[in-house]
Every structure is written in structure tokens, then in C-alpha cells.
Structure 1
Amino acid sequence: MSKEVRRRSRPRDGLGPSKSYSRPSQKSSKTPGGLLTKLAISAVAAGVVLVIAYMRYQTSLKSAVKTPLQSPTILADNSSSAAENPDRFWGTYRSHMYFGMKTRSKASPVVGLMWLTQFTGQMPPPLRHWCDQGDRLQRYGWMLHDGVNFGSQDIHDSTYMLRTQFVKRPGGQHGGDWSARVKAVPYNPNKPATVSLMFYMALDGQGQLAPQLTKKRLSSIKGYSEELGHFELKFPKNTATGARNSHLISHSPQLDKLKDVLMASMAVDAWDKKRTLPYFVLNGRAIPSDQPTNFVVHQVTATLPFEMEVVFESGSVTNRRDTLAGNVFENALQNHVSSFNERFLKTFPLKERGYSVNEINFAKAAFSNMVGSIGYFYGSSLVQSIYNEEPVEYWQTPLYTGVPSRPFFPRGFLWDEGFHNLLISQWDPSISKDIIAHWLDTMNIEGWIPREQILGVEARAKVPGEFVVQRNKNANPPTFFLPLQRLIKDMIKSNTLKDRTFLSALYPRLKAWYSWYNSSQVGKDPSSYRWRGRDATAVKQLNPLTLTSGLDDYPRSSHPTDDERHVDLRCWLALASGVMADIARSLAKDWEEYDRTHKLLTDNDLLDKLHWSEQGQQYSDYGFHTDRVKLERPKPQLNLQPGQRPPPMNQDKIRVTQEEPKNQFVNIFGYVSLFPFLLKIVEPDSPKLYKILNDLKNPSLLWTDYGLRSLSQSAKLYNRYNTEHDPPYWRGAIWINMNYLALGALDFYSRSRGPYQNLAASIYKDLRKNIVDNLMTNYEKTGYIWENYSDKTGEGKGSHPFTGWSALVVLIMGERY
């Protein structure tokens, strides 16, 4: 018998069974009470479970933004190691440096160059280190660089030129040897400057450095790190007349502080008694001998001309036949130069198209700057979702990527990189595959990729704080599908095991990325899309920015709402769906859905229904819009209440709407209007193509003698400041990436059967000539390729050198679309 039964059958007070015990009224008074208690306990338990589940759910929402995609990475953890990829282990991967070397490892020792001009009287002396437009160098950039083996760069300072060169040599187990040479030549031999060249090595984390002194001169640095094993950086004796040597042995808290540490260790020496101006030298050991050394500098000072060399030798090379210096260095360099020149003209047949030697050298410089600016970064992005009150750290990740501009944007930009690899992939497809794989391996569990990757202390030191945090609702154009079109066709054609393996690893990540766009960026109307990230409360902006589109201040609807439809994003997804169908078909995956989506998004009738404005006779965005807006300074507040503070004087101007907005097509003609044409979606026989072609050639709209301007002169926001302080950016300037797409589309339509072939061919010929001539003219005049160009004068504008997508001029010259 159970304990419960025995308890209930026991006589009360020893009197036998009690009648009252079994009365229904008593039974009903006790049983519900027990049941209620049990129910209450169950309810509390269920509540606790729900609370725990909710807390776990909230935690998962918060952590999703920083959780890697649950799919095997494309690249193995050791794919960038010296063992797996020795050819690309060492490189000029410090993109922000005038000259710097590092490896593709998490915590690579770094080598770099600093220099200064002596006897200028400036205190402190201007010290060149990181690329900086404020240095006002006459010009600098790689003249030759093959992306792997060698490079030669000219740097024009105020009164002299530096030529930096490097050559790599394979061998051993840790990436082989390399050597660098710097030549310093005065412009005027009768007035030679005295210059100090300073080569350094610094550790980023683990490792050891042991300076080697010979008669108080730093002759080499011996060292050890996990990825490099034992190594030695040698400083062969300089033979320049009257050269003086000094050095620094010190410790730097982190890599972005190297220049500060060096400047703090600089002393004034009386080298020449006849001079009254100070002479700056490094003061030797700056830390006690028992403290760890992670920063060593070798300084050579001499009156120009002179040159110096540095030689890196891996301890794992056991059969080294000679030192890579002097004539050995020169011979190796010339062999690489000859191979490069031959390969360049084979890849980009410019000679066959009638270009002169100077024009071909310009193209070589444009290309070399792009591949010479490829960087290797390691660190974590700072990210945030709507579920995170504060930004959180992404996981630690490597990134091998090109950069748009060494002085201004020395970091990875998602939409820029697709354009970069249109050029890189035609030179070396393996580099492009490596770059694309690195980017896609930074994808989180949602299928999102941070659009701007700022990895490591040096990269973060170059970025204003307000631009560091990346938000997971924000996209960028999926431009990787542009180079992937060609790469995938080539891989499908080759059908090698290596290419099939790469495609199989690539596909799940592209699928997740594609799905993220189709869930996070869709519009309210079927098959419409909308860029997220526009700020409807941005009252100081004439037209709220659309940074996520890549076109920044290009005018969209004046008042952002969820009802917007963005034609450029729809076209990007049309491109992406076609490429996805090709990959899936080649892998025998379910490709039909991608193909149906591609047909839907390229259907001209549906495109016209959503985006063709009969009033504007153009493809347009749709949204809550009015053209009648202006910036005005707020009027001073009168009749203040007692104790109420008056508003600050000279407040920034704010936007004033002079006419109520309404849902309508945004009839502002410019690059966005061209996207169905740029991405070859408009049918070759469509009358709308005829309208677009004629609008292209119209000087009052987009046509100039220098290229297609970004915004029509007839647009009310043409060349208008977007705030009181922010000058126009995509509101009239000529951008080379978009002109490249326009030329590719013109070339396509000139070869597609239809009534407008000849018109497209004629416009193509004139536009191509205008672009190439203007970039050449600017390069010869200024020494730089620029971020964008004035639609009025053709003059270069913005950051420089800008050898990201502006280097697409090489493909334009070679007619490779």
C-alpha cells in the first residue's frame, strides 16, 4: 500500500473511521487545494523554463552578429602559411606604408622604411612613414609589381627621388629569402640634400629580436618567430662617401606607435661644425639590456646620391648559393622585370591597340599599384545588431585584400573589392580566388559580411571612430559576382579537381550570402529591393545618405520609408541570381530556383512596371519624395521661458521641406538610372535602350569630354553640398568603375543583334577615348591616378593615389570586359 493510501485510511483521534472524513464537502475542500498547489508549482516551473528559453533566445540574437557561418570555410587554417603557399607568404602587405614587408601570418614581424631630410631647420623634422597626402609628395607609386615576386617603386619627395625595389627568392621551409634596395637621387646634383634612411624590424606579439653590433654599428638583426623559425635581417655596409650610421634598440607597445617611439628616441648631434642647423640621429639603446626588444632601427645618413640594401635570410635555407645583394640582386630583378613586361603585354594587348611606350608604362603603373597595394590584415571587426546595446568584437579573422587608396583607404571595402578583382583575376586568377575566399570566410551565421573591414591596430588607427562599427542590417553591392562570372566559367570549362573543390566550398557561402540579401534587403512589393541604412531623422542632410549602396550621397527619395524601391539593388540581385544558377548547375545542385529568379529579375516588363518612369522617361527609384528641399539656418528662438537657456549661436543648417513629399518615381537622372543598362538587363531591341543611348551622349545630361558624370546637370542636386559642410561626392564627378561598366555594356550592345548596334559602337569608341585620354593627361600632369575626376575640367579629385577601381583603366585600354 502506498504511503498516500495509508495516510488517508488511518482513524482520526483513534475513534475509527470518521464519517466526517469522507464527507464530500471535506473531500472537495482538500483536493482542489493540493491540485492548485501542484498547478502553481508547475506554472512557476514552466515560467522559469520560458524565462530561461527567452534569455537563451535573446543571447542567441545578440551573439548571432558575431557567430561564424556554420559551414566549412573555403580556406584551410594554414592556407596562407609558408608550408602551403610559400610564393605569397612574404609581400608588400603593409598597404598603408610607403614601403613595408610582412608575411601572411597572424602576428608577423614587420619590416618598414622611414626617412627624413636633414638640415631643414624644422623641429621636429618631417619623418615619412605611413602614406599621407599631408606629406605632399610630388608623386609615388609602384611602377612595376607582379603581385608575388618583385616590385619597383618611385617616390618623389621635394628635392630628390627614392626608388624602392624588392626581390624574393624561394627556398627552405619558411617562405625563403628577400632583399630590398633603396636608391636616393637628387634632382639637382649641384644642390644635393642630406637624407637619413631608416629600415626597421618590429614584432607584432610573439618572437625574439637580437641586434648584432659590429664596432658600434648595427650590422644585422637575428630573430625567431613561430612562423618564420630562425632568421636574420642584414644591413650590408654602405659605401656612400661620408655615410654615418646610427641605430635604435627599443620597445613599442604596438605597431601603430612605431613612429612615436622613434621620434621620442631621436637626438641632436653636432655632425658638421660648420652647420648651425641640427642633425638628427638615433640614440642607440633606449631600454635596459634586460628588457625584451621588439623594435630595432638601422639609420644611414649621407649626402645624395647613395643607396642602401637590406637582406632577409631564412634560417631554414640550407643550400643558399649566394647572398641576394649587389649584382645578384640586380640580375634577379632584371629577370623578373623582363618576365613581367612580356606577360603584361600578353595579358593586356596594348601594343596591338596602338598605344605608345609612355601610355603602356602608365598602364603598367596603374596595374602595379593595384597588386602592389594588396594587403594582409588580421584582427576583428567591431560590429553591432539591433539586439546589441553596444558594439561587440567579431571573431579574429585574416583578410587578404586589395585596398582602394594607400594613404586614405588602406583597408578592405566589400564593394570595391569586386571591381578590383575584375583586373586582378585577368592577371592571376589564383590571387583573386584567394581574395574572394578570404572575404567570404568572414561571413557570419546570418550570411552577412561586414562591408568595411578594419582589422588590426594599424588599420584602425587610420579610421575615424564613427566609421569603425559595422551594422549587420547594412549591405553593400555584391560586386564579387562581376569577377566570379568569368572565373566560374573558366573553372567549369577547365573542370579540374582543384577547381571543382573550390567551387564546392564556395557555393554554400555564396548561397548564404545570396539568401541574406533576399531576406534582409527586399522591398514591400514583390521582386523589389531596398537598401537598408538610410536615416530618416538626418535633418542636417539635404538628401539622406545611402552609404550601403556604395554611392553615398547620390540622391534617392528625399524622405526614407519602407516603401522605397531601389533599381540598382534589384539589378545587382539579377546579376547574382544568374551567376548562382551557373554555379549550382555546374555542381548538379538545385539551380532551377536561381534560374527562375534570374528570369524574373531580368523580365523587362516587370522591371518597367516597378522602375520605368513615363514622366521622366528613365529608370528610377521609387519612394516618398519631393525635389523642393533646401538647407536653412534655424531661426533664433524668441520668448524664452524663465531659466531656459538660449540655443547655441551659429547652429548648423537643417533641411526645410518646401513641398510635401509623396510616393512617386524619383526622377533624378544619373548612374542609378543606368543600372538596367550597365548590367545588360535591358533587351537589345528595346526602345528604352535607344532612349538610354541618346541620353548618354547628351552633354546636358551625363556626357563630358572626360567620361560620364555621375549626376545629370539638370538634376536639382547636381554638385550641391549635402550638408552645410559636406561637398558633393557622387553628384557630378566622373567615377571610373561606373564608366567601366558603361563601356562593358556599350561593347555588349554593339555586338548584340538589334537596331542600336551601330549607335552603341559609336558611343563606345568616343567614351573610351575620352576616359583614357583624361586619365593619361592627369597622370602626366600630377603623377597620380585619382579617386574621381571633375566633369567640368577633367581634373583629378579626392584621394590619391587611388589605384583601386580607377586602375580599371588598364582593362579599358585593353578592351577586356
Structure 2
Amino acid sequence: MARQRKSVPEGSKDTKSRNSSSSNGSSIQNTKIAQQQSSIFSYWKQLAFVAVLGVTVVFGVMGYLQTRVNTPFDEKRVVIDSGLKVPEQFWGSYRPGVYFGLKTRDPQSLVTGLMWYFPNRLGPGGDGIRHWCEQGDNLDKYGWLQHDGSNFGIQELQDGPFKLTTSFVKRLGGQNGGEWTARISVDILPKYKSLISKDEQVSLIWYAAMDSETEGFIAPTNSNTDITGIRGETSTLGEFKMTMFPQQGKVDHESFLSTSAPGLNLLKETVIWSLRLAQDNPKVPRKIVLGGQIYPAETENKNPNLVATQITAKLPFTLDVVFESKSVVNRNDKLVGDSYTKALNWHKTRFNQRFEDTFALKHKGFTENQIRFAQAALSNMVGGIGYFYGSSLVQSFYTEEPVRYWKSPLYTAVPSRSFFPRGFLWDEGFHGLLISQWDVDMELDIMGHWFDLINVEGWIPREQILGVEAVAKVPQEFIVQWNTNANPPTFFLTLQYILNKYEQDLTNERLAHLERLYPRLQAWFQWFNTTQKGPLAGSYRWRGRDPLTNRELNPKTLTSGLDDFPRASHPSDLERHIDLYCWMAVAANTLAKLAYILGRDSYSKYQQTAEYLMDNHLMDSLHWSNYSNRYADYGLHTDAVKLVRPKPLPRQQNQNLEMTRKVLKQPEFRLVDSIFGYVNIFPFLLQILEPTSPKLGKILTDIRDPNLMWSNYGLRSLSKTSPLYMAKNTEHDPPYWRGQIWVNINFLATKALWHYGHSEGPYQDQANRLYQELRMNIINNVVEQYEKTGYIWEQYNDKTGEGSGCRPFTGWTALTVVLMSEGFE
């Protein structure tokens, strides 16, 4: 009865009645079993609920982690005024990948541009038609001679025996971004005039095109001129027209094309496809002309997105292309002919004066040729600024496939118009050291666009491939960006320079810009501090090295920016990288200064971090080798590696005979101090070393040693005594950062020598002597190679000084201008 009473809740009469009517032992046992079953069922039910909840949480967390890679940073955007809100920057030469073209800072911009060819030299399949900047075109030279980054530019191109001069002038007016005129002049170079027929002709093709997302229309028109022009309307530009005005020479033939191109990346192909043979007079040879109105059968949309005008004329020939907006109602004169020449000359005079006011090269005693080089270097930097719009392909550990970043604009300079016509994160920090001297607000605008690309994790994709034109120039394997991979945070160098030089000139607008930039810089710094931290306190490690490859002599470290510079031979999680350590010290120090200027409480946190990393004792404990007396990376390493080719096997027709790496001696964890080059002197390059440190004296002695880094043309990237000096990394990959001279690192070295030459210490005089010598070695060689070849180069040979790599490379090589002006602080 006691059990019965315990089993019956008080006040439950129904339960008590049922138990009283079944009071035998069997009934009691059945009740007990039922209670146990109910208890077990309840237990499994709770367990199932917990399991379902757990799975739900796991999938929820996974879903959250998957979305973080393409979720924007949740703060006010840095760039708040763009497009028509900044009319003086609206139109520009923002298509660095083409020889000559103009577009707007508008996500769905109308694009305009030039193609040309010489009819007597046109090859099969359109070979000889110029449009995109291509190294394979083998132009003798091309590039901007003068360009102020905003209002005008003048460019010279040498295509075999012919010289083309392209220029443009903008002027404000109306409500739709202003107007402009472009001029194209073609002539025979003087030294070839006796060799070229007097009947030599050129065909110029000027076009306008829209992508599929641009709202509006374009169409051919022949109003106000005998030559077919272009009219149209877009949501941003309103109504407009482009009119062609020949200024010099006799036009032989004119034709036009109105059609639908598959994309902006296929404009040249569309033009080639449209070319036809025509004959106006049976007594003269047939002409190659554009096809008129053509609508491909597979195209549903009959509205053209490409309209082009071709003008064939005898040389010499000059053509003005005038863009006019209907919103300009009080136009005093048409910017054409003499009016255009007068405006262009005014801008050239103003540019010369502004250039001297900024860099003082004439005052410093440089020759006219050297000054012309410097003007061209700056002009190609600011004239190579592009405006891109689109989304990157990105991937994280939590996404099975690449996903799209959000669509965004990017206003950025590019390293090379022919080979790298897109934005690179670590290059852009170096670019900013020149651009900010010319126009600090332009550089702040560029920085703002870059940091508006930061995601919620604090990561910025290191290579920006935005839009179909940019994608068309990139090999498929390099398109996807991984959110584990960094690039040197060189923007902190740019910001450091701006804060030092312009601290007293920080207007309210500039301070507001820096206020919006600050939380994004904090997130970027934090991302580095968490994702790139090393195995020991205070250490850092570049991610992205391949530990499984057997093809590379030394696995590349692309994320460091120094690509194939030798690191530990066997990548591991225990690596420590001295260059990244130094970058983080600079980043913390710069953030501290910015926080102080903005009056932020976080100043003390960044100041403490900077002092921690700038402590030479900590750096020495992590990276100094007492054996070789140099700073070095740490990792699993052996120098005893080589590339070998496998022996052919009998009857193995499909055998892979590609060379692979053979390890002759097992690696061990150690400081990688048998290698000496750029990486090993980063504490000097970024001025982390104390001016009184004996280690500074050792580095100064080493870099001046001709058997190590010194050459008559600059510091080589890898010493002659290093095991992999000028060694191929695979049988197909030539050396890249293994001996060649790079101007960006030589700039840092010269800047550091200037710093230590102005800092009291036992090595001040030595630093001063090296500064003078290195600075002039670099300047003289870069200028000499420019005059000799017509180009500024990506890198230079350490034995001959000759340019190598891609051309033109007026990215960080243009820092030669800063070396000339000595504008270090």
C-alpha cells in the first residue's frame, strides 16, 4: 500500500479508483513496467531533442561561418561621395588596360576607346589591330608623358615606324559630369620617313560601348558632321553625343558599326568579326570597312551596345573626338581645333609648374631628360589609375566552392597596364607613397575604396579582379581569393607618411575621412594578429605555403609579396617570418599615431603593442642568428635540395617526366640563416632597429658587400652566396625574387638609410655615405633604361642593369621619383 500511495498523486481520485479495482500483484507489476517504459521514452525523447538542437546549432554555426567571408564590414563606408557628387573626378582615363580610353566613375559606365591599325600591314584574323595593352604587340614604347590625374593627359605611342599621340582635356559644366575632347594624331617617325610610302594610311576606330547592366542606349549619328558620330543617353550621363572632327590630313574612307557585342571583354573581336571588303571605285583597291548595322541572329536584344566609327586617312592625320552633354546649356565654344590646342597647352604649363613645386627636381640639379623621365613616371602612375566595378570570387575553409563577394567599386592604381591591369593590395601601399605627394586627397580616396572592400572578418582580398575586362586578363588559377591569405599591410606605410607630412593640414573633411577609415584599419590589424600569428608569443607566420608540393625547389610564399624568395624548405605551422613581424610593428605604431590624432582611447593599446614589437630584444630572441650574425626566418629547412627528372620507364608513353624536388639531406628546425637577401634586412628596411644597435652596423656592412647584395644598379634581392641565387623554382618558373633588383625594396632601403643618416648613433656617417651612393645608383639606372628602351620595368638585372619582367611597369618602380625628390617624410 505504501508503494501504491507513492504512485498515486494526492487529489487524483480517478487514478486511485483504477488502482483499487486492480489490486492484485500482476497489476502492480504492470504498472511498474509502464512507469519504467515511460521514463525510458522520456529520456530518449530528451536525448533526441538535444541531438536535434545540437545539429541545428552546428548547421547554424556552419551557415554563419560560411557567410562571413562575403559579408561586408558593419560600419559606415569610407567613401561617401563618388560619381556625380565629385564632378572633377567623374570622367577619366580609368581604363588602364587599353591603350587609350575614357570612362566614368560610375558602376555602369559608358566606356569609350580607340583601336587602330595600318591597312598595308594588317595581318590575317585582324593581326595588327591594337586595342588592349599587350606585351605581344611589341610597341617600341607607350605611356603618358604628362597626366595630372584629373583634368588632362598626353600620351605617346610608337608602333613600328609610326608615332601616335593621344591626349584629352576635360572641362566642367552641366549636371552630368562635364565634357571632354580627345585628340589622336598619327605620323611617321622622322627616321623612317624616307623609307615609308607617301600613300601610307592609318585606320582609327573610335567606339562607345555599354555593358548589359547599363541603363540607356547608344546609336550612330551623322548630325553636325559628314563623319558618323555617336549619340546616346544613360541614367547618369543624360543625353550626349560624340562628334568626330578631322584636323589634319585627308580622309580616304569612313564607315561605322552598330551591333551587339557579347561583352566589354570582346569588343576587339566583335570589330574584327564585322570587318568587310568594300570598293567605292573599281579603279582603286578594295577597302576594309566596318559592317554597318549588324545584329547577330542569336541576339534577342536589337539595341546595340557597341557603336564604332572607322576613319581611314593618309598620314599625317589628326582627329578630334568631342563629347558633349545636353545638360551644358551655356557652352561658350566647342573644345576642338585651336580651342583644344590652347586648353591643352594651358594644362601642360600648369602641370610643369605644379610638378616643380611638388618635387623640386630642377632646383635639385636634375637634367631636362631626367625631369622628363620623372614626369612620365608620375603621369603613368596617376594616368594608370582605374575605376573597376564587380565582385571577386572568394573562398574560405567553411565554403565548399568559391562564392561571390559583394559588388563594389574600386578606384586604384595598377602595377602594369599590359600585364597587371588590376588592383593589388600590397602594390597599392607603395603606389600611395608617390600619389600622396602629388595629391593627398586622391590617395585618401583610393585608400577609402580599398577599405570599403574589407569583410566582417577584417580581411581584404589581396588581388582585385573586378569586371569582365579585368577577369579576361587573369589565368583561371589565380582568380579565387582565399580568406586565410594575407598580403603585406603596406597601406600603413602610406598612412604613416600622410600623418607625418600632413598632420598640420588635416582639414575637417580629411579628419572625417580618417574617422571612417579608423575602425576598418583596426579590424584589418586584428585580422592579421589572429590569422597570421606564429607559434611563439610575438611571432608571425605567412599562411598560404604549400607543404605538399614536390614540384617546387622551395615552395613559394605568394602572400608575402616576395613570391619565390627562399624560405624554410619544408613549410610547417612552426615557421616564424621576420618580414611579417616587422610589418606588424609598423602597423601597430601607425595605428597608435592615428588613434592619438583622432583622440581615441585605444591609443594606449596600440602604443603598448608597438613598443612590445619594436623591442629589439624580443625580435632578436625570435629571429637573430648568432651563427651567421643576421636576422632570419625560422622553420623546417635544408639547403640540400635539387630538381631531378624521373627516369623514363619502358612502354610508359604517358609517363610524367616533369622535374620534381629531391631532398638530399633531411630538414631540421632551425633559423634559415644560410640565405641572405631582402627578407633578412627587414628590421633595417622598416626602421625597427635602434640606431645604436651593432646589428645595424652589421647589416650596413653586408648590404654594401658586392658578393652579397650590392650592385652598381641597386640592391639585389638575393645574395650571390645564397644557395638558390638565380635558381629556377620549377623547370618552368624562372627566378623572380632570387637576385633581380626591385625598386620598391630599394626604395625602402634608401629611405631607411636616410632615416639612420639623420639619427644620432655610431653608424650615422656610414648610413649617409651608403644613402648617397645607393640613391644615385638606382636613379641613374632606371632613367638610363627608360631612355634606352622606352619603358620603366618591373625589375632590373643585377649584373647589367637591364630591365626585365613585364613592361611598362610604372607601379612601384615609379617611386624613383620620390628618390629623386628625397620626399621621405
Question: How far does residue 324 in structure 1 lie from its aligned partner after superposition?
Answer: 1.2
Aligned to 1:132: 134
Aligned to 2:123: 122
* Structure 2: unaligned runs, 5 residues or longer: 1-7
Deviation string for 1:609-659 (max 9, x for gaps)?
111111111111111101110000123458xxxxxx847346111100111
Aligned to 2:751: 744
1:450 to 447, 455, 461: 461
Question: How far does residue 211 in structure 1 lie from its aligned partner after superposition?
Answer: 1.6
Aligned to 1:718: 725
Question: How far does residue 20 in structure 1 lie from its aligned partner after superposition?
Answer: 4.0
CA contact (8 A) 1:219 1:236 kept: no
Deviation string for 1:683-706 (max 9, x for gaps)?
111111111111111100011111
CA contact (8 A) 1:62 1:388 kept: yes
Question: How far does residue 387 in structure 1 lie from its aligned partner after superposition?
Answer: 1.5
In the aligned structure 2, how far is the partner of 1:708 from the partner of 1:291?
A: 59
In the aligned structure 1, how far is the partner of 2:454 from the partner of 2:342?
A: 44
CA contact (8 A) 1:685 1:755 kept: yes
Question: How far does residue 2 in structure 1 lie from its aligned partner after superposition?
Answer: 12
Is 281-290 or 400-409 further displaced after alignment?
281-290
- Alpha carbon RMSD of aligned pairs, Å? 2.1
Aligned residues, how many? 804
1:349 to 324, 345, 360: 360
Letter in 1 for 2:762: P
1:58 to 46, 56, 62: 62
With over 3 angstroms needed to count, the CA separation of the structure-2 counterparts of 1:237 and 1:740, relative to structure 1, is closer
CA contact (8 A) 1:267 1:283 kept: yes
Question: How far does residue 94 in structure 1 lie from its aligned partner after superposition?
Answer: 0.5
CA contact (8 A) 2:256 2:308 kept: yes
CA contact (8 A) 2:228 2:255 kept: no
CA contact (8 A) 2:219 2:258 kept: no
In the aligned structure 2, how far is the partner of 1:727 from the partner of 1:237?
A: 48
CA contact (8 A) 2:166 2:183 kept: yes
Aligned to 2:619: 607
Deviation string for 1:275-300 (max 9, x for gaps)?
76x63211211128992111100111
Deviation string for 1:370-412 (max 9, x for gaps)?
0000000000101111112211111111110000000000000
1:537 to 548, 552, 576: 548
In the aligned structure 2, how far is the partner of 1:290 from the partner of 1:549?
A: 47
Aligned to 2:3: none
In the aligned structure 2, how far is the partner of 1:226 from the partner of 1:315?
A: 13
Is 527-536 or 588-597 further displaced after alignment?
588-597
In the aligned structure 2, how far is the partner of 1:576 from the partner of 1:239?
A: 56
With over 3 angstroms needed to count, the CA separation of the structure-2 counterparts of 1:405 and 1:88, relative to structure 1, is same
1:163-562 correspondence runs (5 A): 163-187=165-189, 188-190=192-194, 191=196, 192=198, 193-204=200-211, 205=213, 206-213=215-222, 218-237=227-246, 240-270=249-279, 279-287=287-295, 291-490=302-501, 492-562=503-573
Is 188-197 or 132-141 further displaced after alignment?
188-197
Question: How far does residue 31 in structure 1 lie from its aligned partner after superposition?
Answer: 2.5
Letter in 2 for 1:504: E
In the aligned structure 1, how far is the partner of 2:697 from the partner of 2:457?
A: 42
Aligned to 2:639: 627
In the aligned structure 1, how far is the partner of 2:130 from the partner of 2:429?
A: 31
1:559-598 correspondence runs (5 A): 559-587=570-598, 588-598=600-610
CA contact (8 A) 2:577 2:633 kept: yes
With over 3 angstroms needed to count, the CA separation of the structure-2 counterparts of 1:716 and 1:149, relative to structure 1, is same
With over 3 angstroms needed to count, the CA separation of the structure-2 counterparts of 1:17 and 1:244, relative to structure 1, is same
2:121 match: secondary structure: coil
Is 656-665 or 217-226 further displaced after alignment?
217-226
In the aligned structure 2, how far is the partner of 1:137 from the partner of 1:431?
A: 31
CA contact (8 A) 1:217 1:245 kept: no
In the aligned structure 2, how far is the partner of 1:7 from the partner of 1:730?
A: 90
CA contact (8 A) 2:145 2:376 kept: yes
Deviation string for 1:154-188 (max 9, x for gaps)?
01011211100000000111110011000111124
Question: How far does residue 353 in structure 1 lie from its aligned partner after superposition?
Answer: 1.1
In the aligned structure 2, how far is the partner of 1:3 from the partner of 1:81?
A: 79
TM-score normalised according to structure 2 size: 0.94
In the aligned structure 2, how far is the partner of 1:496 from the partner of 1:120?
A: 56
With over 3 angstroms needed to count, the CA separation of the structure-2 counterparts of 1:512 and 1:800, relative to structure 1, is same
CA contact (8 A) 2:247 2:337 kept: no
CA contact (8 A) 2:648 2:657 kept: no
1:802 and 2:820 are equivalent in the alignment: no
CA contact (8 A) 1:491 1:500 kept: no
In the aligned structure 2, how far is the partner of 1:37 from the partner of 1:666?
A: 64
Question: How far does residue 43 in structure 1 lie from its aligned partner after superposition?
Answer: 2.4
In the aligned structure 1, how far is the partner of 2:705 from the partner of 2:349?
A: 45
1:74-85 correspondence runs (5 A): 74-76=78-80, 79-82=81-84, 84-85=85-86
1:484 match: secondary structure: helix
Aligned to 1:663: 669
Deviation string for 1:696-739 (max 9, x for gaps)?
11100011111110000001100000001100000000000000
Question: How far does residue 44 in structure 1 lie from its aligned partner after superposition?
Answer: 2.0
CA contact (8 A) 2:225 2:243 kept: no
In the aligned structure 1, how far is the partner of 2:666 from the partner of 2:257?
A: 67
1:48 to 40, 48, 52: 52
With over 3 angstroms needed to count, the CA separation of the structure-2 counterparts of 1:272 and 1:549, relative to structure 1, is farther
Letter in 2 for 1:625: H
Letter in 2 for 1:174: N
Is 20-29 or 113-122 further displaced after alignment?
20-29
Deviation string for 1:508-529 (max 9, x for gaps)?
1000000000000010011000
CA contact (8 A) 2:744 2:812 kept: yes
Question: How far does residue 487 in structure 1 lie from its aligned partner after superposition?
Answer: 1.7
Letter in 2 for 1:436: M
1:707 and 2:714 are equivalent in the alignment: yes
Letter in 2 for 1:202: A
CA contact (8 A) 1:199 1:298 kept: yes
CA contact (8 A) 2:391 2:406 kept: yes
In the aligned structure 2, how far is the partner of 1:685 from the partner of 1:37?
A: 77
Question: How far does residue 225 in structure 1 lie from its aligned partner after superposition?
Answer: 0.9
- The percent of aligned pairs where both chains have the same amino acid is 48
In the aligned structure 2, how far is the partner of 1:134 from the partner of 1:469?
A: 26
In the aligned structure 2, how far is the partner of 1:112 from the partner of 1:628?
A: 54
TM-score normalised according to structure 1 size: 0.95
Deviation string for 1:11-44 (max 9, x for gaps)?
48xxx64424997644432223223323322322
With over 3 angstroms needed to count, the CA separation of the structure-2 counterparts of 1:6 and 1:690, relative to structure 1, is same
With over 3 angstroms needed to count, the CA separation of the structure-2 counterparts of 1:348 and 1:48, relative to structure 1, is same
Question: How far does residue 544 in structure 1 lie from its aligned partner after superposition?
Answer: 0.3
1:313 match: secondary structure: strand
Question: How far does residue 242 in structure 1 lie from its aligned partner after superposition?
Answer: 4.2
1:236 match: secondary structure: strand
1:639-788 correspondence runs (5 A): 646=652, 648-649=654-655, 651-667=657-673, 668-788=675-795
1:140 match: secondary structure: strand
Letter in 1 for 2:792: I
Letter in 2 for 1:621: D
With over 3 angstroms needed to count, the CA separation of the structure-2 counterparts of 1:494 and 1:5, relative to structure 1, is farther
In the aligned structure 2, how far is the partner of 1:396 from the partner of 1:759?
A: 52
